[in-house]
Structure 1
Amino acid sequence: FRDDVTPLELHWHISAMSFFNVSNRATFSRIFGHDLFDARGQDALKRHMVEMVVGLALKRDWRRLR
């Protein structure tokens, strides 16, 4: 794990990404369509969010460990 990212910062980013998805649902549905919020769209968003959080929390060479 990275030592320059605090638990508070990590929590902040996770909360922000999660809240944005909920609070902007009506706006995004209106502009971009409802497919962002169907099961497939939400699965894709979940995968992207996991990649971003893991990328933030782990050291830069974490991909080589897979």
Structure 2
Amino acid sequence: MIFKVFYQDNKTEVPVREKTSAMYVQADAERDVRLKLKDRSINIEYIQKVDEAHHEYEKQNEDFKVLEI
């Protein structure tokens, strides 16, 4: 499955919507995503499971990359 992870780059700052970034991660469950990203210094705001229609839409973006950690 593919998950979209919304996060802030700095773990120590208060989250600000304008600074939110997103990445796509291949994992079996949300818990696996958190385990894969635990050693990164990011503040995870939300993890969203990407369904097939959403995945097809996002693949149209040339910057779309799925992290396989």
Shared topology, TM-score over 0.5?
no
Shorter-chain TM-score tier: under 0.3
More relative contact order, 1 or 2 (CA 8 Å, 6+ apart): 1
Question: TM (normalized to structure 2)?
Answer: 0.25
More strand by share: 2
Quick check: which has more Rg, 1 or 2? 1
